[in-house]
Amino acid sequence: MGSIYCVPVGNVNKDMITMAERYLNGMFGMHVESCSPMPDPLFALDEKRKQYSSTLILRKLAERRDDRAVRYLGLTELDLYIPMLTFVYGQAQLSLPTDPVFAHGRVAVVSLARLAPEFYELPPDRDLTARRARKEIAHEIGHTLGLVHCGNRSCLMSLATEILELDMKSQDFCRDCWNKLQENLTLLGAETNHRENLES
């Protein structure tokens, strides 16, 4: 079916990278490739906000994406924003199944900055941070696989704008989103195999 490429953006704890790669493989059933890090993206830094534009980082990730990657995930410890929001946990290009090979939504980025309890002046908890990261990774990769926000507050595809909303989600997709995901993964696998056969 192809591979998901995992790209550290700036300095990222290696344990979190390893966790993300294993999780992506298990959740989506795709091979995961490690990529060389993207240097600290100063081009995306807003000096006044002391935050980084997730949109500009997505754009840069898309430019350097390897054609063999069916999906491309940037993982960063930098604090991300989009202009209309104070911050974002992540952002993705939404893919539509009507696109050829889901061509327009292959790249996502997830920030770990606000997932650690230390950000809220609480004691460190690596398990909690990793659990939050897995939820956000699944959510953003879900967007690249054609899933939209879900009204079921326990579903991974529900919108979380606060850390409590993220914590309230389960670690699973609801039945409707899971069925849609499986349908889209089947389409993606068929399209990818077709393209690889044409190239060989």
- Is 47 a catalytic site residue? no
- Residue 32's identity, in one-letter code, is V
Please identify which of the residues 121, 140, 165, 196 carries the catalytic annotation: 140
Alpha carbons 21 and 113: distance in angstroms, whole number: 18
Angle, helix 126-144 to helix 14-28, in steps of 10 degrees = 50
Q: What is the DSSP string of 122-167?
A: ----HHHHHHHHHHHHHHHHHHHTT----S-TTSTTS--SSHHHHH
Show which residues are catalytic.
140
